[in-house]
Structure 1
């Protein structure tokens, strides 16, 4: 009966190993009880527990070796004992037999065998002894729930075994047994044998009748039950991830700013190690005429050694949900074993196997990189989301963790792309959803791109081509992919930081524009190393979009521009709808009759005061008012100083750097030069430099190479044109006063001291934001010094009355952050 319970439980396991382990536990526990029948009853339980410990240790060791789990047996056993129940109820079905998924069934089966044997055999209480196997069988049915096929014949066999046990337990007592006397005692041997044979025949006939009725009635009764069994997994929370793992797209900018940071070590082996020919930048397959072949995307590996994108893409996470603010994975992770469930294969797809051995270095979080689609993972216990193919390690990544991933790459016939359709309906609704609040310009651009491209592939290729031709990839672009960020990326002024970004903005913009044109899209974050073996660094981090096509699956697109290409102006190809015309001047100007006139007669002279007490009242009131204002001013100054002290001296280094940045933005606001909300840190630094003299951040016609910062002390004279691309000497003097040139003769005026380097503070802000925990106390102290120096320099350039009111302004105490 315990073995049948193991067979039922094995319905949710990947192979029969779990059922065999349960049967072995049943045989071991009942065997120990039978072997110790002649020993005192108090000695059986300790002996059986020793047997349980030995058998469980052997089972855990065997399953750990089979799953290639690292670590000593003691560590594996302790982890399995601590997390056995939740991992069994959160494991991906079919469940892989592993130490943490077999320990509970093995222990339960052994204890059920011990209880049944001691109560049913030693105490001769068969019916009571069957309670333990029945409870185990019911527990197995509950754990399986609706996740396995119905097994009525197993239940019938279980009931038959119980009936046999009851029948065998009621036989006459013999020597050494208690019970009723044998009815054949005292009769002749032949009569006694005939009587016993008749009794056995009648018992067997009754048992057959009962089983037959059960076999006939059970299906009829089962069909009357219309409810689905309860799945206990609904009550157990699966493994959770942090925000950086839910949206790793925001990490692209941080990796771009640290291109030499080593994240992984990679070794690619197996039949899939050689790389093949590629596909065009617009999609995953060459055009029908075979022209214009370019390096590949994820679906088709690159073959040219001189191509910087050569190598296979390693997927970190798949983000399918977008709410207008952020992309998210939206996965439900289930604990998985060594072998992962195989997705539904694509029709007529060529499958290649890729084996990679990955060693974690600087990569943090829980997401586990792997070539899509992983089929087997050894060396690490993982949780898996089958819908997206995303892997996590619930314990988190650690430096030195080494694991192997065997993946199966499906390569469909991408020559069918130009005529392929895209799916629709509830199954792909999440990949088509466009949240309200999308900028009108983005909607107009999507409509324009879809206007002349009716086929889905043509629309996707048009979006990828537009992005590749009109925008630049820069490493210091600010992170962000909400609607305002994407709108600024697409249509922001070039001299203000717009129309440039990292692969984060390119992939997110493609996916959103694609959804606006009816394409089911998602964003993938991963790495594209230059080769299949070697280190993977921050510069290899990449985000790319994918589009779902019928019969071809998810196809990746490359919206990034080619290296060393000059982007075309967006205005050249984007045709926004004309705005409503403004009214003519005669309609917009108010009539003279509506304009109030002021004449000398209308101005009334002030009245003279006529009371002897008026000067006294005015004097006393003025004195009280001055006293009140003085007290308020002292209070504001004290609160402002305390606020600066908290910002620059309290908290972690990252918090102090952020406080120094708020000191700079508050100073700009006090100077009448508030910072626009959409600017990144580097653009705010440029705005801060221009605010010292009230000049614009950069002449509209002056281009600057991305990623290079102009030194704050650069000399510039108004009215003097600078040659494009000409270098500016750091630390050069600048005319004093208003910044104008000297006398008409052209001699410069007296030099002013160098402007504080706000660019260094912007670099520290990006470090604190994109590399949490890496800022130091020295960097925080340096940030405070830069902020104080800049605020003092900015205040010194204001008129005397604004300098007086600078410290008395209560705005920084209440301005929203």
Structure 2
């Protein structure tokens, strides 16, 4: 096999590994990055017609033009330069992994096209085959590590593969060409290790360089809409493919005493802060494909705690996982949601505790005494938080019936009528899932259980491979948080929804037989009409913390040193390729670095004689190369120049030797 084929095969392998690594920052973009990695070979074909520089320029201009047309849909009224520049902030404020949408793919594709073009063209030239592919591979690897915070190569296997491929190239393909000194290679690999492992694991996050588009959205509470959906009955809302799991529309965590409220601040998935209560220790991944057919509003149906959404304009509340599309849903909208569904076992919940600091989920402003006493009586014999949760589910359900025509609302007054109203009173003992879930949540909070209310759709059976979700399937259910196990759903309407098994609940209720009787609301004249909540003092929301920005200015000196070193190395490679004349210029650079720069009036032989036999022999080669009719190429001229350079360096002062590798003066010498 020829040396050229070996070089192109080596570069192809490096590009393939780098493309696969970088594509992990996007969801389902492997094919796109694989095709982009082949763009450099298009420049190789153009090189037969035009110089290499023009070939590379043509490929990049075509790539940038294509990137503009792909991304301009996100900013149709902007100029091309702004559209392309805006793709990077868009990527850094998108979900992780980023959806494979055109505007989010553009920066990654342009990066790999540029690196591919440089790597392929470099191996056609003598003297750069060992440097440019290594630099390109390192750039792809570092980019993937930063975009995925180190998750793309958890065990270092990809890094080992890249190093192995580079070593094969250095040892087999171009042994006789100019090589990078081993000390430089070791330093570069150490720097890569620092960038790809130390920074991500210490919390370095490139997304913090860009302010995420956190949006305040005023969206109405969808709980009262349950009655309207119940009246619509068989009206189709959306279709889904995937496992039989509950579909969540919105999670309501704030209660004002008059109604439940959704979060008002949303940001891109993967960019916003972590939730205030962590995910439980047991969970399963669930991925569903959804297609909107009749659902309206801004809420986007999802499953579990969303981890990835294929829509670039979807935003999320980090605490509850509620998804919104500010522009509103449209009929025919199709997307994929991947989420985490918590699945604790019954035995895990039996002795589980609840966090005492979750005041946001236990807040009950101006709780009426009747509701507080009712909750106390209902759970008076319960030993654990789980027993309290099961007892309340049974108490709320007893002697009460679902009624789609019952009055809506979840205020204290409406819940008191639902729980304690006299026979014949409108809404007494009857309600929609809104009243059942709200009554449970208020009573649970009254006894210290962190609780929230979810509006969504329970699992429906498949029909020809699809699950058709209709308006009548809409419901609401409460969730209780248990330390170490996450949010657990309960069903005060029927007791058969998702969450703990019926057998586990029956076992608890058998032990708490006394709590199955309806508690008696207390209304003693001596009791104050209102009980101030003990779970929350003052406001229930904390001021948002000011995000800490990384002081990137500390890297400025290091960056300058790296740039100077790269420029000096590039100059040496050019001089080495220029034969004896280039070797003599290397000697002149060394004399300048040592502070021994000769006067312009002195001749080459005159200066060279001061540096022994190696200098004299090099002077002869320089004269032949400069004045002979057909100058010969002397292979050992660079070896002689290195000998002279070492002799010059020995005569330099210690501080000049310390600055030898990064002194910029040779770059400006003519």
TM-score, structure 2 normalization: 0.52
| Change in CA separation of 1:380 and 1:577 when aligned onto 2, cut-off 3 Å | same
> Are 1:424 and 2:360 matched, yes or no?
no
Higher relative contact order (CA 8 A, sep 6+): 2
Cα distance in structure 1, aligned partners of 2:233 and 2:186: 74
Who is 2:520 aligned against? 574
Mapped to 1, the partners of 2:239 and 2:28 lie a distance apart of: 31
Larger Rg: 1
Of 256, 262, 268, which residue of structure 2 is paired with 1:328?
A: 262
Q: Is 1:24 paired with 2:37?
A: yes
Q: CA deviation at 1:368?
A: 3.1
* Contact map agreement 1:422 1:549 (CA 8 A) in 2: yes
| CA spacing shift, 1:74–1:346, aligned 2, 3 Å | same
The match for 2:368 is 439
2:299 is aligned with 1:367: yes
Residues 137-161 of structure 1, C-alpha deviation per residue, up to 9 Å, x if partnerless?
9877765567767989979989x99
Could you tell me which residue of structure 1 aligns to residue 440 of structure 2?
510
Alignment correspondent of 2:235: 262
Q: Is the 8 A contact 2:286 2:341 kept in 1?
A: yes
3-state SS of the aligned residue for 2:378? Answer: helix
1:237 aligns with 2:212: yes
User: Cα distance 1:140–1:155, how it changes in 2: closer, same or farther (>3 A)?
Assistant: farther
2:544 is the alignment partner of 1:544:
no
Aligned to 1:209: 183
Equivalences for 1:583-602 in 2 at 5 Å? none
Q: What SS class does the counterpart of residue 98 from structure 2 fall into?
A: coil
1:369–1:490 Cα change, 3 Å: same
Please say if 1:449 is aligned against 2:449: no
Q: 1:28 to 1:52 in 2, by over 3 A?
A: farther
Q: Distance in 1 between the 2:223 and 2:418 partners?
A: 16
Q: SS in structure 2 opposite 1:545?
A: strand
1:577-624 CA-to-partner distances (Å, cap 9, x unmatched) read 633299xxxxxxxxxxxxxxxxxxxxxxxxxxxxxxxxxxxxxxxxxx
Partner-residue secondary structure (3-state), 2:223:
helix
Gaps of 5+ in 2: 1-10, 271-277, 496-515, 529-670
How far off is 1:116 after superposition? Answer: 9.4
Indicate if the aligned counterparts of 1:22 and 1:106 stay in contact, CA closer than 8 A. no
Partner-residue secondary structure (3-state), 2:476: strand
Question: 2:43, 2:117 within 8 Å by CA — same for their partners in 1?
Answer: yes
Instruction: Tell me, yes or no, if the aligned pair for 2:24 and 2:144 is still in contact at 8 Å.
Output: no
2:108 aligned residue (101, 105, 109): 105
Instruction: Give the C-alpha shift of residue 376 in structure 1.
Output: 8.7
1:90 correspondence with 2:63: no
Shift, 1:24, TM fit: 0.9
CA distance in 2 between partners of 1:535 and 1:16 (Å) = 29
Identify the range of structure 1 (104-113 vs 376-385) with the bigger mean alpha-carbon deviation: 376-385
2:431 aligns with 501
Aligned equivalent of 1:467: 396
> What is the Cα deviation at residue 463 of structure 1?
1.8
Q: CA deviation at 1:43?
A: 8.0
Distance 1:375 1:392 in 2: 14
Distance in 2, matches of 1:571 and 1:528, equals 29
2:328 pairs with 396, 402, 420, which one? 396
Of residues 290, 304, 318 in structure 1, which corresponds to 2:251?
318
Q: Is the 8 A contact 2:249 2:301 kept in 1?
A: yes
Which residue does the alignment assign to 2:553?
A: none
Please name the residue that 1:49 is paired with. Answer: 61
SS, match of residue 181 in structure 2: helix
Give the Cα–Cα distance (whole angstroms) in 1 for the partners of residues 308 and 194 of structure 2. 43
- C-alpha change, 1:239 and 1:360, in structure 2 (3 Å) is farther
Matched with 1:557 is: 490
- Paired residues in the alignment total 471
RMSD: 6.0
After TM superposition, give the deviation of residue 514 of structure 1 in Å.
Answer: 0.9
Contact in 1 for aligned 2:406/2:427 (Cα 8 Å): no
SS in 1 for 2:352: coil
CA distance in 2, matches of 1:88, 1:15: 15
TM-score (norm 1): 0.44
Q: Does 1:523 align with 2:526?
A: no
Q: Distance in 1 between matches of 2:285 and 2:151?
A: 31
Q: 1:155 to 1:55 in 2, by over 3 A?
A: farther
Question: Structure 2 matches for 1:126-275, cutoff 5 A?
Answer: 204=179, 207-212=181-186, 228-233=203-208, 235-238=210-213, 240=215, 242-244=217-219, 247-256=221-230, 258-260=231-233, 262-264=235-237, 266=239
Residues 471, 148 of structure 1: alpha-carbon distance in 2 compared, 3 angstrom cutoff: same
**1:543: how far off?**
0.9
| Contact map agreement 1:446 1:513 (CA 8 A) in 2 | yes
Taking the aligned partners of 2:345 and 2:68, their CA distance within structure 1 comes to 50
C-alpha contact (below 8 Å) 1:248/1:525 kept by paired residues: yes
Q: 1:516 to 1:114 in 2, by over 3 A?
A: same
5+ residue gaps, structure 1: 61-72, 172-195, 274-311, 337-342, 563-569, 583-817
Residue by residue, what CA displacement relative to the aligned partner does 1:543-600 show, whole Å, maximum 9, x if unpaired? Answer: 11122346765432222379xxxxxxx9973242633299xxxxxxxxxxxxxxxxxx
Look up the match of 1:708: none
Distance 1:74 1:490, change over 3 A: same
- Deviation, structure 1 residue 209: 2.6
Paired with 1:223 and 1:529, the residues of 2 have a C-alpha distance of: 42
Q: Is residue 266–residue 357 contact of structure 1 (8 Å, CA) maintained in 2?
A: yes
Provide the C-alpha distance between the structure 2 equivalents of 1:539 and 1:153, rounded to a whole number of angstroms. Answer: 51
